Structure 1
């Protein structure tokens, strides 16, 4: 979920694909939000998209090191009316539209955890490895109208390593209903003490091994974030997508010796072929 270059990306991509998007037949997505994969072309049954993205992002939570990483993109989906069931990478989920204004979603996935080697400069040495864990994501979005021009968003992420709560508001740009266009959202993020200490805490053993001060955090407000998403069709089968994410940490996190930056950021771009 990474710097100012993302703003240039956000301005450049729409110009690149403007003409090709006009030629794409406007087939209604389940919800016309560019942040959501929907390869169904408005029809029931199986659909499939496969692609690749490249992200420039923080090496780990609170890191001041950045690097490029390639990520697979796409999903296998099955649509039945106002419901889509999907498998995307390590995530298995369901998404459903109710009364044209409520989008409900449940996803079972994995938290990748953190390894000492995630820091090339050795800033995580002595902190050990946090294990990958199963997590359940429950989400509800409420549109102000059937066009999904503005919406409210609430998410709960519950996992083996702790829990997050995310609350936000978003705005969709563009007139098409096929999932192309762009959107911008602002969110407030809260975490419990388990997750706070998993990512930013330093226990007595870690302090002895790393030389960092022993640090324990309580749950509560984690950050304020902004997220920009873009998606467009190059032709009948190819999609281009991009995103820019910025998360500003609270003072409790920035006081932790694990956090070497007061923010996390990400810029990504990629392509998907829709079969």
Structure 2
């Protein structure tokens, strides 16, 4: 009888341990998406992640020149329940899980400018310098399942130099619920005329200085794109991540003299240490 009781108690303890592990895994991140970094490990308070990434990407929007660039990675985060406030690079932001199926994100940051020297072949000569510009980014994701297997995403980027909108759908792969694994998103991107001309327009002065045809774009479809995100925990502190992006421009953008290529692409990989 004592042996049976001991076995019964052991089974209960093991089941409770398994349940606890599952619960901790489920609640360790705000949402189980590799594209949403969460260094808090499910605990309220401060969390830090510091690392570095290497990106192989086009030199500027529409360029047919490619190069490697080293970028810092990670963030400082503060969690309070289902809300995370963070500082990453030049951006301050907040993201919150308002229900099991809604994730909202808002950040204030700066859009990277463009310099004539970004083109090693001189294809931006005469177009002048574009300084960093303030921008506000608002994003919402709506999951169709409690485990965030499928979702819709919408994003608005607005600032000093126009507005851009993104709409798409995504899918998560793997059975992990700790923010690791991989995901893919397919999106449609639109912009207003001000945003379009910031990247691909050529005014009269720029045309005279560069010899390129004067170009004025209207608002509308900018591109269709696909992006892939990957994240893996090596151990409790070290994490690797990767991303691949492909964006195919609309016919109006492709007709701009600045668009030396019909697409933009980027591949990156990096490592982060979580304190």
TM-score normalised per structure 1: 0.90
Distance in 1, Cα, partners of 2:96 & 2:128: 40
- The residue aligned with 1:145 is 145
Partners in 1 of 2:122 and 2:104 — Cα distance? 42
Aligned to 1:171: 171
- Give deviations 1:164-214, integer Å, cap 9, x for gaps: 000010000111111000000000000110011111011000000000000
Task: Report the structure number with the largest CA radius of gyration.
Answer: 2
| Structure 2 CA distance for aligned equivalents of residues 182 and 221 of structure 1 | 28
Report deviation, 1:27: 5.7
**Structure 2: gaps of 5 or more residues:** 1-23
Separation in 1, partners of 2:186, 2:50: 29
- Number of the residue aligned with 1:20: none
SS of the aligned residue for 2:252 comes to helix
Q: Which residue does the alignment assign to 2:71?
A: 71
User: Following TM superposition, where does structure 1 have runs of at least 4 consecutive aligned residues deviating by more than 3 angstroms?
Assistant: 24-27
Calculate the aligned-residue CA RMSD, in Å: 1.1
Aligned partners of 1:125 and 1:42: how far apart in 2?
A: 50
On the 8 A contact 2:25/2:177 being kept in 1, the answer is no
Q: Does 1:259 align with 2:269?
A: no
Greater relative CO, 1 or 2 (CA 8 Å, sep 6+): 1
Secondary structure in 2 aligned to 1:268? strand
1:197 alignment partner, SS class: helix
Q: Does 1:34 align with 2:34?
A: yes
- Flag the 1:199–1:119 CA change in 2: closer, same or farther, 3 A: same
Aligned-pair distance for 1:28?
A: 2.3
Determine helix, strand or coil for the equivalent of 2:127. Answer: coil
Task: State the alpha-carbon separation in 2 of the partners of residues 74 and 217 from structure 1.
Answer: 36
CA displacement 1:129-179 (0-9 Å, x = unmatched): 112111000001000011000000000000111110000100001111110
Who is 1:10 aligned against?
A: none
Q: TM-score scaled by structure 2?
A: 0.90
Residue 185 (str. 1) matches residue 171 (str. 2): no
Q: Which moved more, 1:236-245 or 1:27-36?
A: 27-36
Map of 1:200 onto structure 2: 200
Paired residue secondary structure (1:199): helix
Give, in whole Å, the separation in 2 of the partners of 1:44 and 1:25.
15
CA distance in 1, matches of 2:223, 2:269: 24
